[in-house]
Structure 1
Amino acid sequence: MVDQDYEQFIRNIKAKTGIDLSQYKEAQMKRRLTSLYEKRGFKNFNGFYQGLLSEKELFYEFLDRMTINVSEFYRNYKRWQVLEEKIIPKLLEKNKKLKIWSAACSTGEEPYTLAMILSKFLPLSGVQILATDIDENVIARAKLGLYPERSLQEVPKEMKAKYFVKEGTNYKLDNEIIKAVRFKKQNLLADPFEDNFDLIVCRNVLIYFTEEAKELLYVKFSKALKDGGVFFVGSTEQIFNAERYQFASIETFFYQKN
């Protein structure tokens, strides 16, 4: 039997946020959201949706319940310090307008971290970061620029003060940072890559791929970089035989294309 109340809720949420709940397993998602709306005193999905429109806190709680967010800003902070202090200044010596890609960007913390770091070197109007992910829902979530406190644990104090506004228990990211990032749906294995990048960041993603898939991706990433461009990987993703892909290790977890 079609649950018209839930079907309408799906349509409303897609129109409001771009998130398509029909892509999730229905029984699981309905159960998760029903327990939330009952806890908040609503009788059905229609009433719950009206509540989401009028109560910001409820809307944020809904987003949190719906997406399992494991990402955070400045994840493994010391690596981002190396990027800021050593890698970006060297790249800017060669080129004042950098082409940057955050691959498998999840809910946006990584590309937005890149934008915040670059804002120390360049006016944000001149910064353009490509951010891609296979999941349209995490992209829709990223575009909202709304994050729970736990995502901001590593954000430096001055960046938090400059680019975030507290809204209840959540934080809204500054529009200037949001505008510096261009989001696009992409399947890393199947889709072609853009090229001529100065910097590609792909962290904590390759661990989920087979060795064969990793090799294919290293070749694709290498081809997508300019000569002298840098590939930044996660803390469990050292590339063995890096020279096979025209890479040379320049810092731990940073590889330069020769």
Structure 2
Amino acid sequence: MDLEQFKDWVLKYFGINLFAYKSNQLHRRILSLMSRVGVESVEEYIKLLKSDYAQRQKFLDFITINVTEFFRNPELFKELEREIEKYSREKNKNLKVWSAACSIGAEPYSLAIIFDNLKNGGRQSILATDIDSTILERAKKGEYTLTDIKNVEKFYKDKYFKLKGYQYVIDTSIKNMVTFKKHDLILDNYEKNFDLIVCRNVVIYFNQDIKDKIYQKFSASLKKDGLLFVGATESIYNYRDYGFEKASTFIYRKL
């Protein structure tokens, strides 16, 4: 069995479409994982994943790229905050927001903190989705390490986190602003009428065909003038093809 057949198995067994990922990069990641656990063939690795829950979870975490932190690239979050404030003032105070591929929840909770401090008099609804059910359960707990919150300003840290042992637990009022749900960006349908979609440091791992489809679907899911916020390495050079204009360096506005 080769890696292409392994990807077929992963699609059937886990419902994750690895064919959408850039092949060379993905193959290196899979071979690295196999090497770490001391298996030499794809067949051996499949047996291990079927029988060992911990290894199965390591595989899913590694493949679905659960790397994140609060206010990742703080200067870009400042730009987003300015755009949200302007949008809220001019267009809509009641914001419907989607944090796609939210991982451990640092991103949607960062957004909730921004909205809580915006105090625009409106209501904010934040949908946070990820393909990994286990990581979503962790996100719902709202418990973080010092590394996870290293970019959080002291004022926010004091206001929204409580230290319990070695974990920083986020305030219930912030937790209650976010709804978590399992969602596959490649295989599932997208909700509509969002004012803001945040999807950072994920699409970069997909091949160009899949990227095109995702950006088209994001555009269709946004209201007119709605905002799309992407990662610091994910400039969309052909943004006009998806019906966007540039609002800021990594923020796009739906036309």
Fold shared, TM-score > 0.5 on shorter chain: yes
Distance change >3 Å, CA 72–CA 96, structure 1 → 2: same
- Which structure has more relative contact order (CA 8 Å, sep 6+)? It is 2
Equivalent residue, structure 2, for 1:111: 108
Shift of 1:122: 2.8
List aligned pairs for 1:160-175, cutoff 5 A: 160-175=157-172
Corresponding position of 1:89: 85
Instruction: Supply the AA of the counterpart residue of 2:85.
Output: P
1:12-91 matches, cutoff 5 A: 26-27=51-52, 29=54, 70-84=67-81, 86-91=82-87
Aligned in 2, Cα 1:238/1:25: closer, same or farther, shift over 3 Å?
Answer: farther
Output the CA distance in 2 between the equivalents of 1:211 and 1:70.
Answer: 22
- Measured in 2, the distance between the counterparts of 1:178 and 1:145 equals 7
Q: What is the 5 A alignment of 1:1-258?
A: 26-27=51-52, 29=54, 70-84=67-81, 86-93=82-89, 94-122=91-119, 126-258=123-255
Aligned to 1:63: none
**1:137 match: secondary structure:** helix
Residue identity matched to 1:92: S
Distance 2:51 2:249 in 1: 43
DSSP 3-state at the match of 2:189: coil
Q: Please give the alpha-carbon distance, in whole angstroms, between the structure 2 residues aligned to 1:244 and 1:69.
A: 29
The amino acid across from 1:155 in the alignment is V
Separation in 1, partners of 2:66, 2:165: 18
Question: What does the per-residue CA deviation read over 1:62-86, in whole Å, with 9 as the maximum and x for residues that have no partner?
Answer: xxxxxx95211000110001111x2
Shift of 1:25: 6.1
How many aligned positions are there?
201
Q: Distance in 1 between matches of 2:73 and 2:234?
A: 13
CA distance in 2, matches of 1:165, 1:124: 26
Distance apart, 1:126 and its partner CA: 2.7
Q: Structure 2 regions of 5+ residues with no counterpart?
A: 1-48, 58-64
Q: Which amino acid aligns with 2:195?
A: D
**C-alpha displacement of 1:241:** 1.2
| Equivalent pair of 2:93/2:121 in contact (CA under 8 Å) | no
In our comparison, the structure showing a higher alpha carbon Rg is 1
Helix, strand or coil for the counterpart of 2:148?
A: helix
1:128 counterpart letter in structure 2: S
Retained in 2: the 8 A contact 1:115–1:124? no
* Coordinate RMSD, CA, aligned: 2.3
CA offset at residue 163 of structure 1? Answer: 0.5
Q: Give the share of equivalent positions with the same residue, in percent.
A: 47
Gaps of 5+ in 1: 1-23, 33-67
Query: Contact conserved, 1:200 with 1:232, CA < 8 A, in 2?
Result: yes
- Secondary structure (helix, strand or coil) at the match of 2:155 reads helix
TM-score by length of 1: 0.73
User: CA 1:228–1:157 in structure 2 vs 1: closer, same or farther (change >3 Å)?
Assistant: same
For the Cα contact (< 8 Å) 1:124–1:180, is it kept in 2?
A: no
Query: How many Å separate the matches in 2 of 1:209 and 1:109?
Result: 22
| Runs of 4+ with >4 A deviation | none
* Partner SS, residue 151 of structure 1: coil
